[in-house]
Amino acid sequence: MNNIDVSALLAKVYELLTVYGLRIIAALAIFVIGRWVAKGIRSLLGRVMAKNGVDETLTTFVCNLSYVALLVFVIVAALNQLGIQTASFIAVIGAAGLAVGLALQGSLSNFAAGVLMIIFRPFKVGDYVEGGGTAGTVEEIQIFVTQLKTPDNKTIIVPNAKMMSDNIVNYSTKGTRRVDMTFGIGYGDDIDKARQVIMRIIEKDARVMKDPAPVVLLLELADSSVNFAARFWTSAGDYWGAYFDTMEAVKKHFDAENISIPFPQRDVHVYNHVS
């Protein structure tokens, strides 16, 4: 009886090995080879993107995402080789992906905007930009957010979707900027003298470019002042220094030349009524 049971058991094991052995070997082969191919594709994709100058952050993200997607496909193929029904497994993955997508809708929009920023490069690290309701020097461009540093050394984290949803003003792209200033004098002052004083100050500044040449023009006859428009060009890095120094120099030279600068005044008249 024992011999019959042992023989039957061995026959059953042999049958199982015959039926499922090849499937198990094939499934393992699919998993090992598929994983190796996925790693190779990830490496190849990384080299191609690096060769084309794609941002390192985007390269790493895309390579890892492609590897995970290929690995999931390989695992599903291996399970299918074992005879396991993968339709329900794929449905679960799809439902989970949909749920995660809905939950991360805002993050996905930031990701999409980050990819567009890295591809089209409206600005780069080191540029001074205005966008997303704020302004500052770009310190880092990440997949989901952009990090800015304000002139007073504050760090601002701006979601990429917000950064790309409005106008972006890049003050560093061209390398030069035009300084626009307005100076007012009194109606009783000599306009030719005032123009010469302003132009002399501008031309004396080494930061002011000779081409295009600076100009000082009569802008308007305002309610209480005669206004001049001063326009001159500097490098982007010298903009604020030239602006502030010119403003201070004009005030000092106007005082020295007895040129008045009108300011709002109010006259108060007091009447005594005798009853």
User: In the chain, what are the domain boundaries?
Assistant: 2-103, 122-170, 176-256
pLDDT above 50 for 1: no
Tell me, what's the pLDDT at 217? 95
Residue 142 is predicted with a pLDDT of 79
- State what percent of residues in the chain have pLDDT above 70: 79
**Residue pLDDT, tens place only, 152-189:** 999 999 998 888 888 889 988 888 999 999 999 999 99
Q: Are 145 and 154 contacting, i.e. CB atoms less than 8 angstroms apart?
A: no
pLDDT for 37-80, tens place per residue? 888 988 888 888 788 776 666 677 778 778 888 888 888 888 77
Q: Which one is the CATH code of 122-170: 2.40.40.20, 2.30.30.60, 3.90.79.10, 3.40.640.10?
A: 2.30.30.60
Q: Pairing between strand 134-141 and 145-149? A: antiparallel
The model's confidence at residue 255, banded by pLDDT at 50, 70 and 90, is: very high
Q: Higher-confidence residue: 103 or 99? A: 99
What CATH number matches the domain at 2-103, 3.30.428.10, 1.10.238.10, 1.20.990.10, 1.10.287.1260? 1.10.287.1260
The Cα 60–Cα 43 span in angstroms is 10
**pLDDT at residue 105 is higher than 60:** no
Phi, psi at 273, each rounded to 5°: -100, 125
Beta pairing partners, 145 = 159
Query: pTM score > 0.75 for this model?
Result: no
Residue type, 189: D
The pLDDT mean for the chain works out to 83
Confidence at residue 15, expressed as pLDDT on a 0 to 100 scale: 63
Residue 274 pLDDT: 65
Q: What is the pLDDT of residue 111?
A: 79
What is the predicted pLDDT for the residue at 228?
96
d(CA 219, CA 134): 31
In the predicted model, what is the mean pLDDT of residues 117-128?
Answer: 84
Question: How far, in Å, CA of 66 to CA of 64, rounded?
Answer: 5
| Residue 17 or 172, more confident | 172
Distance of CA 160 to the CA centre of its chain: 6
Q: What is the pLDDT of residue 8?
A: 66
Residue 4 has pLDDT above 60, yes or no: no
Q: Which residues contact 21 (CB under 8 A, 6 or more apart)?
A: none
Q: pLDDT tens across 192-219, in order?
A: 999 999 999 999 999 999 999 999 999 9
Per-residue confidence (pLDDT) for residue 108, from 0 to 100: 74
Bigger pLDDT: 128 or 96? 128
Q: Which fold has domain 176-256?
A: Alpha-Beta Plaits (3.30.70)
How high is the pLDDT of residue 31?
Answer: 85
Domains 2-103 and 176-256 share a fold: no
* pLDDT of 104 higher than 60: no
Which of the pair, 32 or 96, is modelled with greater confidence? Answer: 32
Angle at 113 between CA 110 and CA 119, to 5 degrees: 140
